[in-house]
Structure formats: structure tokens, C-alpha cells
Amino acid sequence: MKIFLVAAARPNFMKIAPIVRALQCHIHNNLEWRIVHTGQHYDHTMSQAFFIDLGIPEPDRFLDAGSGTHATQTAKVMVAFEEICIKDKPDLVVVVGDVNSTLACSIVAKKLNIDVAHVEAGLRSFDMTMPEEINRIVTDSITDYFFTTEKTANENLLNEGKPFDKIHFVGNVMIDNLLYQKEQLESIDPNSFSTSIFKTQLDQFIFLTLHRPATVDNREKMSDIIIALNKIAKEIPIVFPVHPRTKKMILAFGLELSDKILQLPPLSYKESLFWWKDALFVMTDSGGLQEETTALGIPCYTIRDNTERPITKTEGTNTIIGTSGSAIYKSYQEFKSGKIKNGKIPELWDGKAAERIVSVLINSLLHI
């Protein structure tokens, strides 16, 4: 039996890494697995050292899909992935998350009568203006194995008519990776990071990420957000690793960030964790950080109107605040006044999700 593990970009590798490490512990003569990098977002910093940090080998296949419109990108991935599926004949394709490659590789696999497993299945924002929501829904419509991170995802899948016995509540592979990386971080010299000198100069700080096109591509919205951030930074410094897209739009709109906002280049996962684990709180429009801050008990204010990860809001430390400058500043004032949300770690977010996934797959594929 042969398994393809598909990843499209840096966050995807964070999700497949725990699965790879779990598979490495299950050596079986009748089981092969290969990592497929679609190249949807090629990142030159994903060197051999990147994969060593994750504890996984470099990808076996690189499809070099590149960027482009949603249609162009999806089509490139489909064509390239079909070619290797026909050549290598996998029995199962494992996809993660909700990027274009998730959708593209699922469609190709099913049309070749190859089973599909979706990790992070069933998550829904119920916002059809989000390309990721379309990718999630279409992928789940043709998936054979649904691996969920929270029970609301199970409910969503059942409401959509998915068979109960194909839905597996296993926990969250992102938390597997977080706990693995946190343990690794504790064993290295923090001064090895290029940005560590700045951290020693800060008594306290807020950690910020912004990258979603719906936010950063809108001049009026981005201007309003930056006005609020500059106001907050007068009182507490903000550490802001600037995504290339965000940097491009800030320059294009002629916006200026306060000198109290420490602008950093994009950080590796481990260096980013080195920063935000000690922040007073995190402000973000990322999906992953909503989960990770909940796992470590860090207050998180999500600069979005909705979330596909509701458990971070109902049980965790996450608060959805919208995208207006006034809402951002209001959240800061509430934090300052002591109105801080105390959350708990959700069920099965224990660092063993990947082990459960691999157990299901091995039992199903090899009938052990």
C-alpha cells in the first residue's frame, strides 16, 4: 500500500510533519509513503534545515506549480499531480487544510479512483466569500477519511450527510507540531535567532500577524487598522513580522507604521514561536495562531469577522473582534482593564493526533 502526503506551503508542512513522524514509527513491509510538495507557494527558505527542524525528510516529489490566479494555480497542480499519480499509483492521498492544492489533489485522486483522507476536515466559517471555505467544502464532498480537530467539525460533516463511520475525531496535528517545536525550542540557545537581541530590549510586547488579502488588500480597511495599531504602540510595543504581501500593500497605499512597531522579516516557525509564546497577547488574522495560542493559554484577538475554528472561541483564548480600527483599539483597552478571556485546552489537543490518524489508516489499509 502506498500513501501520498500532500503539502503545498510552509503551514502545510507543519501539519504533515507529525503524520510523517508517526509513520516513521510504524515500519511495515507492505506500507510505503511519499511526501509530495506541490510548490503552490514556493519558499526559498524551506531548505534542508527547514525539514530537519520538522524532523522529516525532504519531499520525494516537487510539482513546481507556482503562483497565479486561483484557477491557474489549481489547474497547474491538477495537471502535475495527475502525472505522478498515474506513474506511482498511490492507494491513498492525504491532504491537509484548505489551500488550493488541497482541493486540486483531492479531485485528481478521486477521478483516478484513489481514496482521499482529509486532515482538518469539517471546519466551516460559513463565509462563501473565502476561497478557503470553497476548498474545504469541495474537498470534504469527495473525501473517504475525515480527520477532525473538534466536535463541531463532526457535526458539520454529519449535517452534510457524511457517513458517521468515516469521521474520526483525532485532535489537532497543528498542536502536535506546536508541542514538538516548543520542546525543541527549549533545548537550543535563544540567542541563535537573528531577532533575539530585540526581544531582550522589550519588557513586554504584543505580537501581530496580518496577511489575508481580504484585509490587507483594502486601502480603507488597512489604513483604519494601522491607525489603531499606531495608537496602541504608543503604550505597548508591537512586534510585527511583516508578510511580503502585507508589506507590498502598505507601501502601495502609502501607509506609515509607528516606530514603536517593530517590523521584522518573515520568521521561521520556531523563531515566531520564540516571540509569541511570551507576548502579552496576540493579534492575528491567521487560522493556525488561533489554535496555537489557545493551546498555550495566550490571549488572542482575531482580526476577522468569523472563524472556521469555533472551539478556539467557545473553549479557548480566542476572541473574534472584526476588522475595524475601533474594534482593535477597544479590545486592547479591555485587555488593559483586566478583561482577559481565560480558556482551556480543547479535548484531544494533546500532541497525539497524528498517532491516531496513522492508527486509523494502517488499520484500514492493511486490515491489521
Kindly report, residue by residue over 68-126, the tens digit of the pLDDT: 899 999 999 999 999 999 999 999 999 999 999 999 999 999 999 999 999 999 999 99
Give the mean model confidence (pLDDT) for residues 37-58: 77
Question: Based on the domain organization, do 200 and 110 belong to the same domain?
Answer: no
C-alpha distance from residue 359 to each of 43, 174, 363, 367 (Å): 32, 18, 6, 11
C-alpha distance from residue 59 to each of 34, 38, 50, 111, 208 (Å): 7, 10, 11, 24, 31
Selection from 219, 259, 262 nearest residue 238 by Cα: 262
User: How does DSSP classify residue 328?
Assistant: H
Question: Based on the domain organization, do 50 and 159 belong to the same domain?
Answer: yes
Mind giving me the DSSP string for 315-331?
TSSEEE--S-HHHHHHH
- φ and ψ at 206, to 5 degrees? -110, 140
Which pLDDT tens digit goes with each residue over 193-223?
999 999 999 999 999 999 999 899 999 999 9
Which pLDDT tens digit goes with each residue over 52-76?
888 899 999 999 887 789 999 999 9
Question: Based on the domain organization, do 131 and 229 belong to the same domain?
Answer: no
* Position 183 in a domain: no
* Position 276 in a domain: yes
- φ and ψ at 85, to 5 degrees? -70, -40
Question: Based on the domain organization, do 69 and 117 belong to the same domain?
Answer: yes
Question: Based on the domain organization, do 154 and 201 belong to the same domain?
Answer: no
Supply the mean pLDDT for the chain.
94
* Position 165 in a domain: yes
Check if the beta carbon of residue 178 is closer than 8 Å to that of residue 295: yes
Question: Based on the domain organization, do 265 and 323 belong to the same domain?
Answer: yes
Question: Based on the domain organization, do 24 and 142 belong to the same domain?
Answer: yes
H helix runs in 172-262, sequence order: 173-185, 196-199, 213-216, 219-233, 244-253
Tell me, what's the pLDDT at 28? 75
Question: Based on the domain organization, do 77 and 161 belong to the same domain?
Answer: yes
Q: Tell me, what CATH number does 219's domain have?
A: 3.40.50.2000
Give me the amino acid identity at 180.
Y
Domain count, the chain: 2
* Position 308 in a domain: yes
Q: What is the Rg, in whole angstroms, of the alpha carbon atoms belonging to the chain?
A: 20
* Position 10 in a domain: yes
* Position 205 in a domain: yes
Q: Which of 26, 70, 211, 367 is catalytic?
A: 211
Question: Based on the domain organization, do 361 and 322 belong to the same domain?
Answer: no
Domain that holds residue 246: 190-336
Question: Based on the domain organization, do 151 and 241 belong to the same domain?
Answer: no
CA atoms 43, 47, 49, 51: torsion sign: positive
Question: Based on the domain organization, do 24 and 163 belong to the same domain?
Answer: yes
Angle at 349 between CA 353 and CA 178, to 5 degrees: 85
* Position 67 in a domain: yes
Question: Based on the domain organization, do 167 and 247 belong to the same domain?
Answer: no
Selection from 142, 100, 101 nearest residue 121 by Cα: 142
* Position 233 in a domain: yes
Does the pTM of the predicted model rise above 0.85? yes
Told to judge if 211 belongs to the known catalytic residues of this protein, a careful annotator would answer: yes
